[in-house]
Amino acid sequence: MNFHSRAIIHLNNLHHNYQKISSFVGRNTKIIPVIKADAYGHGITRIAKELSIYENIAYLGIAHIKEGVMLRKKGIKKPILAMSCVDSFDMETILKADITPVVHSLELLERIKDYAKTNGIKIDIHLKFDTGMARLGIREEEVESALSICRKNKGNINVIGLMSHFSDSESDLDWTKRQLERFKKVIKLFGDGGIEPEFTHIANTGAILSLKDSHLNCVRPGLGLYGYLPEEKFKNTIDLKPVLEIQSQLINIHMLRKGEGISYGRTFKAKRDMRVGVVAFGYADGLFRALSNRLKCIINDRMVSSIGTICMDMFMCDLTGIQANVSDDVIILGKSENNSITAYELAEQANTIPYEILTNIGKSIRVKRVYRSQ
């Protein structure tokens, strides 16, 4: 198959980022690298294999049970923590794949307890508490009930971890501190009740950088692993390098005459004669249509503007005054010698966040994923 487009994963940058984060939190803090959502678009299996060399990893963090099952089938041996979409009906699959579930409600805790009792087994779990995200988690008024269930069923439930999740760690430090204090009260309550889990964790990338007190004994970096920060204001805090690069090719070059429109809806009309390039990358490849007439790309180390509405398979750009030929490479995300395009910039232009850019761009089967170690 002839691939015009490539998602290039720079593994040396991945290792650089992991080591920087590990050094930042210190040797006594374990790490749960978050590799859900296909490792933020970087390829979950390969990223898991690369990160498995590190001894300070407590778990590999996933969302769906299916992600964990796939990793086991691919030979990944590291402990796996399923952080979101867990149900007691999945317990047979969870146990067979040796996945540790995160329990986020009293109802789920009761069902897992009943399953363990019925089968005469003891199940390791992490308990998740809602300290302000208001999404998943045992609520403040339910904490004592959760503790009671765990204390009465120690023969069937082993609480190996307590966790929560920050809602605004990158921008509201006061609120983040309030969430942390709520979580610490939960930890103390469980400790006073005779349950002292091995792992306590709440810090995402933003909190890792903004609130050292939140590191506890384990952290969960996600976006930072892949070279980005939730806010650019943190860029002087830690040296991270983008892991993902997206390249495509020019597949056609033609003239657009003054007054002519281009692409669907003719949202761009030429004010002069123009030389136009057509790039083999569109919204089916994860390039948001909202970037139409805003997107920049790099061709032969020159910054080039897109023109017209982004199509399913292609977008067009202004090559006037640019030395370029059919089959020349086009950088959509990444850098050349003198220019660069980051997920921050694409996110700003599309009115979204870097997470959404990374988890969408380049996911089409028409985009070949290439892993590079140098």
- What would you report as the CA-atom Rg of the chain, rounded to the nearest whole angstrom? 24
Instruction: Specify if 5 maps to a domain.
Output: no
Q: What is the CATH number of the domain that holds 209?
A: 3.20.20.10
226 is catalytic: no
In this structure, the answer to whether residues 360 and 259 fall within a common structural domain is: yes
Residue 278's beta-bridge partner residues? Answer: 252, 316
CA dist 71 and 11 (Å) reads 19
The answer to whether residues 209 and 94 belong to one domain is: yes
Q: 56 and 106: one domain?
A: yes
Choosing from 228, 253, 280, the residue where a domain stops is: 228
Q: Residue 273 and residue 345: Cα distance in Å, rounded?
A: 29
User: Residue 344: which pLDDT band, with cuts at 50, 70 and 90?
Assistant: very high
| Domain span at 187 | 12-228
Q: Which of 122, 152, 264, 269 is catalytic?
A: 264
What is the total count of domains within the chain?
Answer: 2
Same domain, 213 and 248: no
> Given a cut of 90, is residue 195 above it in pLDDT?
yes
- Residue 163: the pLDDT is 98
Percent of the chain with pLDDT over 70: 99
* pLDDT above 90 (res 231): no
Does any domain span residue 113? Answer: yes
Indicate if the pLDDT at residue 1 is higher than 70.
no
Q: What is the pLDDT of residue 2?
A: 59
Q: Specify the CATH number for the domain of residue 328.
A: 2.40.37.10
The angle, 0 to 180 degrees and rounded to 10, between the axes of the packed helices 143-152 and 173-192 is 30
How far is 17 from 39, CA to CA, in rounded Å?
Answer: 14
Q: Are residues 213 and 262 in the same domain?
A: no
Domain membership flag for residue 130? yes
pLDDT of residue 118: 96
**Within a domain: residue 367?**
yes
pLDDT at residue 307, rounded to an integer: 98
pLDDT level of residue 291 (50, 70, 90 thresholds): very high
275 in helix, strand or coil? strand
Considering the candidates 30, 36, 113, 128, report the single residue annotated as catalytic: 36
pLDDT tens digit string along 63-109?
Answer: 999 999 999 999 999 999 999 877 767 889 999 999 999 999 999 99
The mean pLDDT of 262-287, rounded to a whole number, is 97
**Over residues 21-46, mean pLDDT:** 97
Same domain, 291 and 152: no
149 and 221 co-located in one domain: yes
pLDDT number for residue 92: 92
Element (H, E) at 201: strand 199-203
Whether 18 and 64 share a structural domain: yes
Q: Report, as an integer, the average pLDDT of 28-56.
A: 97
Asked if the structure places residue 3 within a domain, the reply is: no
Active site residue 264: yes
